[in-house]
Structure 1
Amino acid sequence: MQRQIIWLISLTIITFFQIPTNSWAQGTEATITGRIMDNNGPVKGTSVSVKNESTGFKQTTLTNQNGIYTFPQLPLGSPYSISVNHVGYAEQKKTDYKLSYGDELNVDFTLSSAENKLDKVIVQGTAADLKNKIKTLGASTAITANDLKKMPVNGRNFSSLIDLSPVSSGTNLAGQRASSTNFTVDGMNSRSTVAGGNSGGAYSISMEAIREFKVVTNDYDVTFGRSGGGSITTVTKSGTNTLTGSAFTFARAGWLSSKYNLNGTARKQKFSTYQYGFSLGGPIIKDKAHFFVTWDRQMDTRPLQIADIQTNEDIARYKVTQATLDEFTRIAVGKYGASADRLFGSFDKKKKTDAAFARIDWQLNDKNLLTIRNNFVYDMDNQQEGDNTGINAFESYTNRRYINNSLMASLRTSINSKLTNDLKVQHFYERSEAQHNVAGFDQSHSIPRAIVESVQSVDGTNKYTNSIQLGGQRYAPEWFNGNMLQLVNNLYYNTDKIKYTFGADVMYTNMDFRYGSEMNGRFYFTGLQNFDNLTPYRYARDVYMTDKENTLVNNLAVGLYGQMEAKIARGLDVVGGYV
């Protein structure tokens, strides 16, 4: 192990000869650091305080023997002020700084003797000061709060902005699969527990709840983890001392779409998307406790055409005539109990998504900041998936329902001027189920499907052959329940020369699911005559090899890691870590 650490440190030293900057363990917050000097050099033991003027959050530390102070893992926001006090020197204060995700803000002070009769020096943050923000190492694309406000976003889904990263294609990063991309919200896992990637639904969190996010590909430190192709890290909004709110709406109205279907006939179904919601944030106790809540709803309606024969071109495309469909419908309704209005034609395909978010930040005392937040998403996608036959009746489509809820609590503790601890605990629940679209059937029961092959149609001199299906869908009913408990603790320890990060990430996952294919059984018919005579030529069904149809999986993943950072010389830093 010692050889591995020595080799890693040597490699990073070589790398950092080409990078004149320093770094800091990422988390989801930011860092303020700097040096306090006077005419004789560094000033040890100076009291330095930072304060977020909009929330009242305040922290105090002391400079080390080199006159350096550091505030790791500060909450994001603005405006921040930095005050310096030392016996025998005039108090100084610099104001109007903004902290964004991953920033390291370097603010230096030069103290003047109190004999100069300067009671207090206040300097507002300037453009020159703001240039001292140190960008994180490696390849990453930051989408700031201003970007989210100014950029048009199709469907108000923040994941659309992932494409601003030059190495992304949707959620595929750096040529890797989407399932290899890590998703985090406020530093905690937000990946789908069943297949990785982003959690389901129209969106995993309301855009109104997002402060900013970052697309990271090789900008790793030990606190990231669980990333193959990259990481998409999101930070949520919090309340301030000012009561603020917003109401919004997004509309893709039906009159903005063509009045005609693809076959040129008049469109009777709706084709629209409406999204609306609100946000509200403010103080519970001024300078101590704050809240922020959002609610977001999206309603999407669009046409679903299933063998909707209106023109000769439709006959050629679907390879079936209306007369054949009428005969199929007569048999299906009269002998198999199907509903005539749930087979073929044009239908309204509806989808509804609700997202609710709530967050409370409470500064318990001058050393502890408690944050509790909850994110809930409900998505109902009707007729989400058809089947694998040439023509699938409307009742053979599945309705997909998706629910997830993330409850997180974090406690940031400033133990002393050298030690800061960040503890986070999360429970993530995920429920996904594919439901039958057959009217009047219990969702817990399996429904077989009937597949009529070699259905022949004649249109003038043209002859067509296709297959038609009614009944259930080969996957439904299926469901997945996932419960994930995660605990992450990071300890930041600053010595006079080296900054250390030590951490643990413990994740327990419980999964209970029913997945399968062709478990419902299927009847095969050759032609409409055999379908009418109730004479299938084949019946097939896959079966489970155990008494229970569901599967239980429990998994415990434990990660321990450490990292050190030291400044070797001006413009030369070394970072080494072990996981």
Structure 2
Amino acid sequence: MKEFLLTTCLTVIGTGLYAQTTQAGFAGKITDENSRGVQGASVEVRNESTGFTTKTSTNVNGDYNFKELPLGGPYTLKVSYIGYGEQIRRGFNLNQGDLIRQNISIQNASNVLETVELKGTSTLKNQIENLGAATSVTAKDIAKLPVNGRNFTSLMDLSPLSKGDNIGGQLGSSTNFTIDGMNAKNPTSAGSTTSRSGAPFSISIEAVREFKVVTNQYDVTYGRAGGGTVSAVTKQGTNKTQGSAWVYSRADWLSSPNTIDGKKRTNDFSTYQYGFTLGGPIIKDKLHYFVAWDHLQDTRPLIIADITSTLDEERFRITQDNLNAFVDIGREKYGLSNDRQFGSFDKKRGSDAVFGRIDWQINSSNLLTIRNNFTSDLNKLGLQDNKPITLYESYGNDKNIDNSFLATLRTSVSANVTNELKLQHLYTYQNSSPGDLLPSQNIPRAIVENIVSKVGSNDLKTTAQLGGHRFAQESFKNNVFQLVNNLYYSTDKINYTFGVDLMYTHASSIYGSEVNGRFHFGASDSRTALQNFQDRNAYNYTEKYHW
């Protein structure tokens, strides 16, 4: 099935914008000795760590305004005007949502002997007002807080209205995810990743500078969200070459030597996550890079009717003899593999996240940012079917690939006009396939219902399955193209934002539950369920078509 979706949004508002990135900037008023606004004063901001520099001039009231500045710092604010002494303010760091207001008074040059410098405070924080509750998670929070699995979305729970992907009591599908101000929500799963079996992460936590959870908002500046928005901003390189490397492990020897039912564990139970980051200058004050790689290798036991005692028979509601009979019939009558079909197995999962970003200060008016985020996840035996006992061959594999390419151009058109243009291609792919013991075309399922087993004095019943996983032929592919342009226009009285957001989605999906058919076997008046299974006497057959 192919779907085409085009979404368009045009916004004209006094403050804010539709698809925001940093929401950070400086604003204030420049006055003279008599506290009157100075028109035409030159105001310059510079990020000392990257060399990013932009300028503006004050309006008739002496007001100045910088929008959508790159995060980080320290920033230096410099004010100059003919006939007046230069004023410099240093030491400001910008986080997502910071709007730092600095009112500066300048004096006639005849009254000052040199440039006046004052040091700001890196902890100064003036949040832009949101029409709703918001929780910011800064770079320091991400670095110091323990995160199981190192997925930054786990820290969403720091918001009092968040529980997992659910915000404000709404479904997780009502939560919008953005990275660097652009859509990061998967069209198929309506979540941050494609995975049917829960991919460990959608971006390396080492590539996330900070993020914000905005809830209960009724503001046009945040769209595509019924419950709330998770807005993340990525890291960038600076003039200093620096990096990191890490290894996090849950070693097998740290795990209990016994399973939950007291048996001696024979399978590996470990998780290793390792990677690195590196960032720095290509050309100082001009061109910078940042890269990150994160790898997760998870191995754990997969237990399928591992019966070694009467207690196990009670727990799985089937005797060892009946389970053996079910498997023997499958091999004799239905072509079931001679490979081991129940017991304890190794289940392995491998995931990678690769992030790269380049920031290029083309000139004093233009900053170009190009970044790419790639994730891959292969979850072998990650798809379990819906019956109490599912043989090994019925487990399916889950493969997921996501890639986001984003180009951003910030342009200072004039002293009172700033434009930010963004273009993104988001690609998502999810494929469910049969396990390694079955052909890629998959095979039907055989479900034997109400197998009766005598365990002690009790008659216990259960249902067992062999054959292919019912979803093991589905795949979903999406190509999402998004263009966002925001223009900021400042007048003497009002600051305007004009925004347009165009999104085109091309979805190619194969839905196919039970396309190979499903046979049901049960007890009849004179025959048990296993006997009818041996006689190939199914009481029902179901087949569905993929589309």
TM over 0.5: yes
Calculate the aligned-residue CA RMSD, in Å. Answer: 1.8
Whole-angstrom distance in 1 between the partners of 2:413 and 2:219: 23
Residue in 1 that maps onto 2:321: 323
Q: Secondary structure at the match of 2:385?
A: coil
Residue in 1 that maps onto 2:97: 102
Cα deviation 1:315-363 (Å, max 9, x = unaligned)? 1111111121222222222332222434211111221110000000001
Residue in 1 that maps onto 2:463: 467
**Could you list the runs of 5+ residues in structure 1 that have no partner in the other structure?**
1-8, 13-21, 544-548, 551-579
State the 1:75 CA deviation: 0.6
2:82 to 71, 87, 90: 87
- The higher-RCO structure (CA 8 Å, 6+ apart) is 2
1:121 aligns with 2:116: yes
1:276 to 274, 277, 280: 274
Q: Secondary structure at the match of 2:84?
A: coil
Residue in 2 that maps onto 1:502: 498
2:534 to 525, 528, 532: 532
**Could you list the runs of 5+ residues in structure 2 that have no partner in the other structure?**
1-11, 523-528
**Bigger CA drift: 273-282 or 511-520?**
511-520
State the 1:463 CA deviation: 2.5
State the 1:117 CA deviation: 3.9
The equivalences for 1:24-43 within 5 A come to 24-25=16-17, 27-29=20-22, 30-40=24-34, 41-43=36-38
State the 1:238 CA deviation: 0.4
Residue in 1 that maps onto 2:142: 148
**Bigger CA drift: 323-332 or 164-173?**
323-332
Residue in 1 that maps onto 2:424: 426
The equivalences for 1:132-211 within 5 A come to 133-137=126-130, 138-200=132-194, 201-211=199-209
Maintained 8 Å contact 2:397/2:472: no
**Bigger CA drift: 447-456 or 56-65?**
447-456
| CA distance 1:220–1:123, change in 2 (3 Å) | farther
State the 1:221 CA deviation: 4.1
Cα deviation 1:524-569 (Å, max 9, x = unaligned)? 22322232233333322123xxxxx44xxxxxxxxxxxxxxxxxxx
| CA distance 1:206–1:126, change in 2 (3 Å) | closer
Maintained 8 Å contact 1:355/1:378: yes
Letter of the aligned partner of 1:533 in structure 2?
Answer: D
1:54 aligns with 2:56: no
Maintained 8 Å contact 1:263/1:313: no
Whole-angstrom distance in 2 between the partners of 1:228 and 1:537: 46
Whole-angstrom distance in 2 between the partners of 1:375 and 1:396: 33
Letter of the aligned partner of 2:171 in structure 1?
Answer: R
Q: Percent identity?
A: 51
Residue in 1 that maps onto 2:356: 358
The equivalences for 1:199-278 within 5 A come to 199-200=193-194, 201-219=199-217, 221-278=219-276
State the 1:392 CA deviation: 0.9
Whole-angstrom distance in 2 between the partners of 1:221 and 1:329: 60
Cα deviation 1:176-216 (Å, max 9, x = unaligned)? 11000000000000001113122232111000000000000
Cα deviation 1:52-95 (Å, max 9, x = unaligned)? 00000000110011111111110101100000111111111111
Letter of the aligned partner of 1:303 in structure 2?
Answer: P
Letter of the aligned partner of 1:97 in structure 2?
Answer: F
2:398 to 379, 400, 404: 400
Maintained 8 Å contact 1:141/1:164: yes
Maintained 8 Å contact 2:176/2:185: yes
Q: Secondary structure at the match of 1:300?
A: strand
Whole-angstrom distance in 2 between the partners of 1:418 and 1:438: 62
Letter of the aligned partner of 2:135 in structure 1?
Answer: T
Whole-angstrom distance in 2 between the partners of 1:465 and 1:154: 38
Whole-angstrom distance in 2 between the partners of 1:521 and 1:234: 44
Residue in 2 that maps onto 1:332: 330
State the 1:23 CA deviation: 6.4
Maintained 8 Å contact 2:15/2:497: no
| CA distance 1:220–1:494, change in 2 (3 Å) | farther
Letter of the aligned partner of 1:490 in structure 2?
Answer: N
Maintained 8 Å contact 2:133/2:217: yes
- TM-score (norm. length: structure 2): 0.92
Residue in 2 that maps onto 1:542: 544
State the 1:460 CA deviation: 3.8
Whole-angstrom distance in 2 between the partners of 1:131 and 1:533: 78
Residue in 1 that maps onto 2:448: 452
Q: Secondary structure at the match of 1:160?
A: helix
- TM-score (norm. length: structure 1): 0.87
The total of aligned residue pairs comes to 522
Whole-angstrom distance in 1 between the partners of 2:310 and 2:67: 70
Runs in 1 of length 4+ with deviation above 6 angstroms? none
Letter of the aligned partner of 1:133 in structure 2?
Answer: N
